[in-house]
Amino acid sequence: MSVVDSETIPVASEPDMVVVRRRVREVAARTGLSLVDQTKLVTAASELARNTLIYGGGGTMLLESLNGPRLGVRLTFTDKGPGIPNLDLALRDGFTTGSGLGLGLSGSKRLVNEFEIESKVGVGTRVAVTRWK
């Protein structure tokens, strides 16, 4: 698998979330994802960017175009926030420590083909998702 193209986008404010959604849409369209798959990836990006912003205190998104064996788009959200003490719980539908619906992590996992999460309390959280063409 090789990375064809990549860029890092800050996720530090609400207007950044709009930029995240727009750039993910552009790259997903250019990669040739179907309209439904583009929409799923952009929606997952919106959920994860909100988590980065609200729970992680801000961070970045690495946006990569992948080639080989298939074309795809990978998004990696990284923050240096408090971390998630119990990942199993955090990945459950309806679980939230905030005021949302608890669909951010569990819901976005259903919208992508690959989902990886790493979190260390006091260090931060990294979530990587991939949607293949």
Positions touching other proteins (CB under 8 A) are 14-15, 17-18, 21-22, 25, 35-36, 38-40, 42-43, 46-47, 50, 93, 100-101, 103-104, 106-108, 110-111
- Residue 76 or 108 with smaller CB distance to other proteins: 108
Q: Which DSSP state fits 13?
A: S
**Token representation of residue 114:** 């690959």
As measured in angstroms, the least distance from the Cβ of 68 to other proteins is: 27
CA distance 59 to 10: 6
As measured in angstroms, the least distance from the Cβ of 120 to other proteins is: 26
Nearest residue to 74 via CA among 10, 9, 28, 125 = 28
- Residue 82 or 107 with smaller CB distance to other proteins: 107
As measured in angstroms, the least distance from the Cβ of 38 to other proteins is: 8
